[in-house]
Chain A
Amino acid sequence: MRVSLFVPCFVDQLTPQVGLATAKVLKRLGHEVEFRPAQTCCGQPSFNSGQWDVAREAAVRALGVFRGAEVVVGPSGSCVAMMRQFYPELLKGTPHAAEADDLAARTFEFSEFLVKKLGVTDVGAKFAKKVTYHDGCHALRELRLKEEPRRLLRAVKGLELIETEEGETCCGFGGLFSAKFPMISTAMAQVKGGALARTGADYVVSSDPSCLLQIGGWLSREGKPILPLHIAEVLAADA
């Protein structure tokens, strides 16, 4: 299959290893991977801030960027939810509605793509560490993904998966929310980060790099020994 990568803007700039790992896994499974450099941000910050006219422009741009792509795969539940759930809502009743629906049907979150679209759970990864999993809210409640990433992790050689308390509790990122309401966001990070640290895992793994930014940022500031890691990086590990 020819996969067009959807790399979230902050992954592009801050955690490029997540994008590279995503591509590596897909290639290892024998797929052709492309990256269309015209892509930037999906418009979610503006959408979530109520600036739907601005977000609509970003959405229409993205439709153009991914026009003709066989499938679009992104290593982020949040950004994929934007394309899949919210582009159709944003562009409803405009001339772009049909194309938004069409793109939504071809867009997948990375773990979802592997398990549901390709039917793969063992990607040939080895990672001899204790990990716990954080469900990002968009993956969990917009895309309804819960078992998919866990099935992938359980198939990784040497990996021990332990569940955490507050497993389905939001980490408190919420995009600009984390900066507009820092005190609430930090309290949420304390609840989440505290539970994660108590698991005794080496890594907290998630399919959402934005949650990992928040969780990792708090864990680092508090000097907790557990490290954030994207699921693509785990699945790309083979040594």
Chain B
Amino acid sequence: MSDSKAIFLKDAAVNAADGDQRAFIRKALGGYYVNRDLQKARYRDWERARDAASLAKWSAVNDLAAVLEQFVANFERNGGVVHWARDAAEARDIILKIAADNQAKAIVKSKCMTSEEIHLNDALEKAGYGVVESDLGEFIQQLRGEAPYHFVFPCMHVKREAISELFTKHLGTAPTDSPEELTMIARRHLRQLYVDADIGITGANFLVAETGQISITENEGNARLTAALPRIHVALSGIEKVVRHLDDLSVLLPMLATAGAGQPMTCYNTLYSGPRKEGECDGPEQFHLVLLDNSRTRLLADPEQRDALHCIRCGACLNVCPIFKNIGGLAYGTTYQGPIGSVITPHLRGLKQWNHLSGASSLCGACTDACPVRIDLHHHLLHNRRNAAKEAPTLFDRVFHHGFNFVIKRPWLFAAGGRIFRATLPLLQKLPLPYMGAWMKTRDLPEAPARSFRDQWKNPDA
């Protein structure tokens, strides 16, 4: 068993048994479902909008090299500097070099899951830079020393009282249970940091090829300050974030907001068009963009699962996933939690180490129905399971399934085996058998009938 699987099984079991925490998450998502449905109802046709959003992403992803080249040419024309990073280490080195070249000291960062993916904060802190998260949820998680719980709602699992305690401990503020006051505490603390920072690091929601602009979506305004106040802006983005046209955002931005957060539009949607130009009074002096592959091209090379690169990281699939809701986001041990995380992590970080996430699903398909860009999520979990069985078959699975197949190929053996199974069921239930023992721990089986269907069909009156 891989280490990541052992940790997952342990954490998932603990969290699934924590009824209070599960109820808290369920309640936190309760308002989302109501708002999402209200907003979806405002679309003339949500399903057609999904088609359009999916097509916009499909069109860019399936011609990725050309669309990226177009984007880069336009981005550079706007005065930005592009850096290509093959993997996490290269991306970290690029950003560290930008910081060193500019004698930076303080760094402020807005929400960017790609930076979590490359463990950027660790690298920056090790190199001696102070780095502060400016998104409220990420700020809270940074103080807690914990990874984001949900890639859109990073601290959705943290109760208000715990946030108050956290602020008291780290910022020395008086305890309060008012969400507004807690927000103001963080706001007061962060304001000066924007002014002091030399570098602002952001993510990117979309890269617009035809204009060379970066689109960033946020609710707090912190990304705008992060991008605008420090003298250097560094954006970090996966290569799959590119879209062809500015007009694509007219469907993608509202759908991102509605599917992910139940909003008509996210509060701030900003297009960044390069560094401060001659005659402009504000904006960064330098604008860097780090374009990260980190195994995305491996996913691109797989025609069956390429659509996973459509993902706009809205989080809708997490919000509806019964697995996510019952085990929580931290148990995954991945940057991207929930169904999309279970689909892509084996591609990004290795099938052998991460296939267990594809197994940990009842394949209910709620995620696929929720996805605004129509990623075939739950079927990709099946594809991962198949690929893993081919790549690294486990002896137990091979014996179990070949044994089962040996029986079901022979109806007489199936019938005879069934008869023995039914006759010994009361005894079997007491034995610590693999699979069955685990089942019986929390659930009963129906009483075994004396005669099977096939027996009764053959001899109705016997």
Contact = CB atoms under 8 A, between A and B. Distances in A.
A151 B448 CA distance: 32
B448 A14 contact: yes
Contacts of A172: 322, 362
B178 interface: no
B454 A12 contact: yes
Given A14-B448, A57-B405, A141-B364, A19 B453 contact: yes
A52 B389 contact: yes
Nearest to A182: B438
Contacts of B384: 50
Nearest to A38: B411
A169 B322 contact: yes
A19 B451 CA distance: 12
Interface string A128-161: 0000000001001110000000000000000000
Interface in B422-462: 422, 434-436, 438-439, 441-446, 448-449, 451-458
Contacts, number: 191
B453 A182 contact: no
B454 A141 contact: no
B404 A13 contact: no
Contacts of A177: 359-363
Contacts of A17: 449
A184 B444 contact: no
A170 B366 contact: yes
B359 A178 contact: no
Interface stretch (A101-109, A111-119, A211-219): A211-219
Contacts of A179: 434-436, 438-439
B246 interface: no
B418 A180 contact: no
Nearest to A17: B449
Nearest to B389: A50
B213 interface: no
Interface residues of B, number: 66
Given A141-B368, A182-B441, A191 B322 contact: yes
Contacts of A11: 453
B300 interface: no
Contacts of A47: 382
A189 B442 contact: yes
Contacts of B438: 179-180, 182
A136 to B, nearest CB: 9
A50 B365 CA distance: 17
A222 to B, nearest CB: 9
Contact of B389 (A7, A51, A58, A141): A51
A51 B401 contact: yes
A38 B409 CA distance: 9
B323 interface: yes
Interface of A: 7, 9, 11-17, 19-20, 23, 35, 37-41, 43, 45-52, 54, 57-58, 61, 137, 140-142, 168-170, 172-174, 176-191, 213-214, 216-218, 220-221
13 contacts: A13-B448, A14-B446, A35-B453, A41-B408, A45-B404, A50-B382, A172-B322, A174-B364, A177-B359, A179-B434, A187-B327, A188-B322, A220-B443
Given A7-B454, A137-B364, 16 more contacts: A16-B451, A16-B452, A17-B449, A37-B411, A38-B411, A39-B411, A141-B364, A174-B363, A178-B362, A180-B435, A181-B12, A182-B438, A185-B362, A189-B443, A220-B444, A221-B443
